Amino acid sequence: MTKDEKGGFSGAFAGLFEEQEKRSGKRPRAPRIGEAVVGMVVAIGRDAVFIGLDGKSEGVLERAALTGKDGVLTVKVGDTVRAHIVAMKDGQAVLRTRLGDGENALEELAQAFENGAPVAGKVTGVNKGGVEVQVGRVRAFCPMSQLEVGFVEDVQAFVGRELEFRVTKLERGQGGAPNVVVSRRALLEAERAQKAAEIRAGLSVGAIVRGPITRIKEFGAFVDLGGIEALLHVSQIGFARVGHPSEALSVGDVVEAEITKIEPSLDPKKPDRISLSLKSLATDPLIEASGKLGRGTRHSGKVVRLEAFGAIIALEGGFEGMVHVSELQSDRRVQHAREVLSVGQDVEVVVLEIDTARRRLSLSMKQVAALREAADAAAFQRPAAVSLGTFGELFAKKLGR
């Protein structure tokens, strides 16, 4: 394709870039060999595809690199293409979508090694400690630990797969053959870090997020937000008291929670600390049950904890309230709740006060006894329902008639 044939679109592309350049006040940096670039298809020839890199420079890519197995071109004018600069020829960048496929395969791999650019390779076999990878015309080795981020259970499943790797070692081996070591894990971790940074930029306190639980510890559960782990503290799982997070959650559970705190990390190697809450998205059951648990109502419960200041009682519905030591008994002074109660004991209590704002439920056992005494006294004092007859009958009886 001649320069004139592709000049129309290329010229328009350059004009747009010049306008943007004037607005920004910045001039583009010249492309460098080994650099990864993103450009727009400006023209398509019989053997090559021309890529506008920055409006000022242009790259050329073999058409075969963008042709599918069916022989059909996979791009059109205006599409975006990612590639690597492998050489400069007559002021034009020679591009390659896959490093290591060209005639100067080792030179391209050296560029990839220097710039950290990914290379495509096919896993051809398994040997001791790793797998063999064919990168273009060069055979490379990928250690088992570098094949995946986690543990690889079935390495044979990778044989025959086309994957991307990063060159981590390139040197001349014995007999002049190159010694090339590659890592897929390095690429996966870099991609994960980039994705995590993008996700982190969009997070803020008050945002509702969703993700699976990856780990459970005594103090809480960790939730994956797409490469970022956030902590769901045990106290924020729900309104009911949870002794251990595993009582309410399991690894793999997907939860929806609210971000309650983001603490920026001062160490660039450590991520920010993100705190989550399930409780903040739920309706407090104590508010819904406030009518049933009104002041003066009587309930059955079980002692779950004993302290010097009183006893913690679990009521029906998962609610807990406290009986202060002064409300345990009325016949004597109690120094510690364990003097009159034991954990697991069934008791009856009366609600003294319910504070929904502070989530406090004050109970009394002393009032239960007082209510019983009042009921007994009322029953004793109630007059018997006996008929005394008419006034005439009483008067006649008085006269002895």
Domain identity same for 267 and 313: no
Domain identity same for 366 and 293: yes
Who's near 356: CB < 8 A, 6+ residues apart?
284, 286, 287, 290
Helix (H) or strand (E) holding 120: strand 118-127
Domain presence at residue 243:
yes
CB 366 within 8 A of CB 329: yes
Domain identity same for 257 and 314: no
Domain presence at residue 369:
yes
Domain identity same for 265 and 310: no
Assign 387 to helix, strand or coil: coil
CB 320 within 8 A of CB 361: yes
Domain identity same for 89 and 16: yes
Domain presence at residue 18:
yes
CA distance linking residue 3 with residue 213, whole number of Å: 58
Number of independent structural domains in the chain: 4
Side chain identity at residue 66, one-letter code: L
Domain presence at residue 126:
yes
CATH number of the domain at 67, please: 2.40.50.140
CA distance linking residue 230 with residue 196, whole number of Å: 12
Domain identity same for 73 and 37: yes
Of 399, 329, 335, nearest to 366 by C-alpha is: 329
Q: Which domain holds residue 230?
A: 208-281
CA distance linking residue 26 with residue 20, whole number of Å: 9
CB burial of 319-328 (b: ≥16 within 10 Å; e: otherwise) equals bbbbbbbebb
Domain presence at residue 201:
no
262-269 long-range CB contacts below 8 Å, 24 or more apart? 262/203, 262/204, 262/205
Domain presence at residue 330:
yes
Tokens coding 331 = 């016949």
CA distance linking residue 369 with residue 374, whole number of Å: 9
Domain identity same for 265 and 325: no
**Residues paired with 61 in a beta bridge:** 49, 95
The domain boundary residue, chosen from 281, 305, 325: 281
Domain identity same for 267 and 298: no
Domain identity same for 39 and 57: yes
pLDDT digits (tens, 9 = 90+) for 201-259: 889 999 999 999 999 999 999 999 988 899 999 989 987 778 899 999 999 999 999 99
The DSSP code for 67 is B
Tokens coding 212 = 């699976």
The domain boundary residue, chosen from 64, 96, 128: 96
Domain identity same for 244 and 290: no
Q: What is the mean pLDDT of each run of 10 residues along the chain (401 residues)?
A: 43 45 52 77 90 81 86 89 82 79 73 81 91 89 92 91 90 77 91 84 91 94 91 88 89 94 83 90 68 79 90 82 85 83 90 77 84 66 55 48 48
Domain presence at residue 393:
no
- How high is the pLDDT of residue 138? 87
Length of the chain: 401
CB 180 within 8 A of CB 140: yes
CA distance linking residue 140 with residue 119, whole number of Å: 11
The domain boundary residue, chosen from 143, 160, 189: 189
Domain presence at residue 101:
no
Domain identity same for 354 and 316: yes
Domain identity same for 313 and 377: yes
